[in-house]
A and B are shown apart, each in its own frame.
Chain A
Amino acid sequence: MSTSPVIQVQALEKRYDKVEAVKGIDFQVAEGEVFGLLGPNGAGKTSTIEILEGLRPRTGGEARVLGFDPDRQTQQLKDRIGVCLQATNLPAKIRVHEALDLFGSFYTRSISTEQLLKRLQLWEKRAAFYETLSGGQKQRLALALALVNDPQLLFLDEPTTGLDPQIRLEIHGLIEEMKSEKRTVVLTTHYIEEAERLCDRVAIIDEGKIVAMGTPRELQQKSREQSRIDIVTAQPLNAAALPQWPEALESKLDEDGRSLTVYSSRPARTLFEIMRWLDQQGLQLEDVHLKRPTLEDVFVELTGKKLRD
C-alpha cells in the first residue's frame, strides 16, 4: 500500500448554528486504503464525509482530498471522486441504463455502461424502471453510479443501512472488489461486522470527535476485554486437576464439568496448550469457540454507549 495520503484532514470542524457536529478531527487516508468512520447516528460521520465530498463547507480546519480543497475546488474534486449517498433517489421512470448514461455524461471521464451493468449484476435489469427495482438492486445501481467516472477515490455513506443481511453481504462483496482494484474507499457505517470485514483502518467517532483510530485488530487489542475460549468436552473435567494455561487469566468450569471457559490475553497460544493438554489426557473435544473482543466492545469501552444508540 502506498503511503501518499489521498485525504488529509486537520482540526476539521463543522457547526450548524449552535450544534457542533464535528469538533476538530485529524486523520489521513492513504492510497488504496479502505478507511472506515464508525459511530452511532449523529456522531458526525456524515458531516465529515460530506465536507470531504465538497457537499458542505467546513467551519474550521483544513482538508485536502486528491490534492483539492473541497471548499474551493469543488467541481474539480467532484469530477474525480465517486459517491454513494446515504439517502438518495432517482426519477421513478428512468431506466437503469439511462441513469448510468445520464450521470456518465456529467464527468470528463466515464466508463462503459455495459461494463458497469454486468459488473454490478444489473445487466438483466438494464431496461427496468427505477421504481420497479428492489432495495438491493437500487443500492447496486447507486454503487454503479458512484463508479460511473471510474474514480480512484470512493465515498460510501452507510451503503448497507436498511438492507437485509443477504443483500448486505452482496454489497460487501462489491466493496471488496473495489478494494482489490486498489481504489481508496472511505466508508461510514454503524455495522461493526462491516467495519471489521472491510476496513484496513477504522476511526471511531463519537459526538464529533475521533475517540480511537487504527486497524480493527489494533483497536481490538486496545480493549480491556479479554479473548474468551469456550470448550465442550465429551467427558467431564475435574476442576481441581485443571492446569494453569499459559497466558490464561481465568478459567471457569460449568456445573456439568464439560463446558470450560478460559479468558486469555494471547488466545492462540492458550488454545494450543489446551488442545495439547486435552490430547495428553485422552479427552475427546466436542466443540470449541474463540471470541475476541469486537469493535463494538472497544466502542462501548471508549464511549460508554452502544453503536445503535
Chain B
Amino acid sequence: MKTYLAIIAMDIRLALRLRAVIFFNYLFPLIFFFAFAMFMGRDQGNIAYVVRMSVTLGVLGSGFFGAGIRAIQERELNILRRYKVTPITPAPLLVGSMVTGWIIFLPYIVLLLLLAHYLYHMQLPAHMFDLLVFISLGLIAFRALGLVIASVANTMQEGTILVQLFYFPMLLLGGATIPEEGFRGVMKTIHEFVPATYLVRGMRGMMANGQTLVENWLPTLALVVTTLVGGLIALKLFRWEKEEKIRSSAKWWVLVVLLPFIVMGVLNRLGWLKWPSQ
C-alpha cells in the first residue's frame, strides 16, 4: 500500500507540474464548453448536450493521451527501466495511472456541472452521486483501454496510430459530438459498437431523465468489465523497456478489452437489450 500511495502522490504532483496536463484537462475542455454553450444558446437540453460532449472529450483525452501515450513515452524515455530494477511489480504503476487520472479529472466534472448550472441554468442531475460514479467508471475504463494500447504498441509511432484509430471514431460516432438520433443505416450499426456510445447514453439518461446507476446497470457493467479486463491485459502485457518488443498478433488483445461493447452492440442489433428511456 505504501508503494501505491507513493506512486499516486508523485504522479499527481508530476501531472500538475505539466502545463500540457493543465491545459488539456481543464482549460481546453472549458474553452470548448464555453464556445459551444455560447453557440448553442441557453436551452436546457442544449447545455446538457454540451456538458456531455465536454465530459466525453475529457474522458477520451485522459484515457488515450493521458494514460496511453504517456505510458509509451515513459517506456521510450527509459523511465520505466529505472522502476524495473526495484522490487515493485507493474500493478502500482498501472493503478497509479488510473487513480491519478481520476483524481485530476473529477474536480473538472464538478466544476463543469456547477458552471452549467449557475451560468446556464442547467438543472443538476437528480442523482448527482450516481452520475459522478458513472463518469468515474468511464474515465477509469478508458484509461485502462489507453494502457492496453500502450502495452501492445512497440513504438510511439505505432501507439499514436492506434490511439487515433480509437479516439476519433469514439469522439465522432459515440453520440457525444453528433447526437445519436443523427445516425442512420451503417452509421447507426457502427454507433452501437462504439464504447463511448454507452458512456454518453448513460450520462444522458442520468442527466436528462433523472435515472440512477442501477437503471443504467448495463453500460455500468460494461465499463466495470472493461476496467477489469483492460487492467489485467495491461498487467500481463506490461513492458518496462522499449527493447522488449511484442509480437504483432498481441495487438488483438485490444479487441478483447472491447468485448463487452461488441457483445452489447450485437445484442442491441438483435433487439435483445432493453434501455431505459432516453
Contact = CB atoms under 8 A, between A and B. Distances in A.
A301 interface: no
Interface in B71-117: 74, 77-79, 81-82, 84-89
A6 to B, nearest CB: 17
A90 B83 CA distance: 9
A89 interface: yes
The DSSP consensus for interface residues of chain A is loop
A93 B87 contact: no
Interface residues of B, number: 21
A240 interface: no
B250 interface: no
A79 interface: yes
B10 A106 contact: no
Chain A interface size band reads: 20 to 34
Nearest to A98: B10
A55 interface: yes
Contact of B82 (A53, A75, A89, A108): A89
A238 B187 CA distance: 103
Contacts of A106: 3, 6, 86-88
B190 to A, nearest CB: 39
A87 B3 contact: no
A265 B89 CA distance: 56
Interface string B175-210: 000000000000000000000000000000000000
A94 B14 CA distance: 7
Contacts of B13: 98
B17 interface: yes
Contact of B86 (A78, A87, A91): A78
B18 A87 contact: no
B132 interface: no
A83 interface: yes
A88 B82 contact: yes
A91 B79 contact: yes
A85 B85 contact: yes
A87 B87 contact: no
Nearest to A101: B6
A145 interface: yes
Interface in B1-54: 2-3, 6-7, 10, 13-14, 17-18
A53 B6 CA distance: 24
Contact of B84 (A55, A87, A90, A93): A55
A102 B2 CA distance: 10
A119 to B, nearest CB: 20
Contacts of A108: 87
20 contacts: A55-B85, A75-B87, A78-B87, A79-B87, A83-B85, A87-B81, A88-B78, A88-B79, A88-B82, A89-B82, A93-B14, A98-B13, A102-B7, A102-B10, A105-B2, A105-B3, A105-B6, A106-B3, A106-B86, A107-B86
